Amino acid sequence: MTCHYRLLPLFYARESDAAVAGMEAVAAPNKIKKHLKQYDAYKRMI
């Protein structure tokens, strides 16, 4: 399943704790973090 960056707040609101933890674990490595920090929406939410 995908989630558009504009719907990221809804992901945190409606998905299970396991799904949120999984997404945060995937975004944790520095290589991925550097890429996500280029986008304000991701920078604010993750």
Q: What is the pLDDT along the chain (46 residues), one digit of tens a residue?
A: 666 767 778 888 888 899 889 988 988 899 988 888 888 877 777 6
- pTM of the predicted structure, to 2 decimals: 0.65
Q: What is the predicted pLDDT for the residue at 29?
A: 92
Q: What angle do CA 32, 6, 25 make, to 5 degrees?
A: 30
Q: What is the CA radius of gyration of the chain?
A: 10
Q: What is the predicted pLDDT for the residue at 17?
A: 92
Domain that holds residue 38: 5-45
Number of domains in the chain: 1
* Residues 16-39 as b or e (16 or more Cβ within 10 Å = b): eeeeeeebeeeeeeeeeeeeeeee
- Give the C-alpha separation, 7 to 24, whole Å: 16
